[in-house]
Amino acid sequence: MQATSAPSREWALELVDVSKSFGRNPALQEASFGIRSGEIFGLLGPNGAGKTTLVEILLGIKHRDRGQVWILGVDPELAPRRIRELICGQLQISPFPDKIRVDELLHLFAALYPHPRSVPELLGLVGLNEKRREFYERLSGGQKQRLALALALIGDTDLIILDEPTTGLDAQIRHELHDIILELSRMGKTLLLTTHYIEEAEKLCNRVAVLFRGRVHAVDTPAALVKRFTDGQHLEVRFSRVLSAEEESGLSGRFRFERVSSGPDYRFHGEQGERLLVDLVLDLAPRGIGLEEARIRRPSLEEAYLAITGSRIEP
- What does each of the 315 residues of the chain score in pLDDT, given as a tens digit? 444 556 666 799 999 999 999 999 999 999 999 999 999 999 999 988 999 999 999 988 899 999 999 999 899 888 888 888 888 888 777 778 999 999 999 999 998 888 899 999 999 988 899 999 999 999 998 888 889 889 988 988 889 999 998 887 888 888 888 998 999 899 899 999 999 999 999 999 999 999 999 999 999 999 999 989 987 778 899 999 988 888 888 888 889 898 988 889 998 987 778 888 998 988 888 888 889 999 988 888 999 999 999 998 876
What does pTM read for this prediction? 0.81
DSSP designation for 290: -
What is the distance between the alpha carbons of residues 182 and 16, in angstroms, rounded to a whole number?
28
pLDDT for the residue numbered 3: 45
Closest CA to 164 of 124, 197, 125: 197
14: part of which helix (H) or strand (E)?
strand 13-22
What is the distance between the alpha carbons of residues 133 and 116, in angstroms, rounded to a whole number?
20
Please, is 101 exposed, middle or buried when counting C-beta atoms within 10 Å of its C-beta (0-12, 13-18, 19+)? middle
Contact 13, 192 (CB under 8 A): yes
Kindly give, in sequence order, each residue whose CB lies less than 8 Å from that of residue 88, ignoring residues fewer than 6 positions away: 151, 152, 153, 154, 155, 157, 159, 160, 161
pLDDT for the residue numbered 8: 66
Q: Where are the domains of the chain?
A: 13-221, 231-298
Contact 58, 87 (CB under 8 A): yes
Is CATH 3.10.129.10 the right assignment for the domain spanning 13-221?
A: no
What is the distance between the alpha carbons of residues 100 and 13, in angstroms, rounded to a whole number?
34
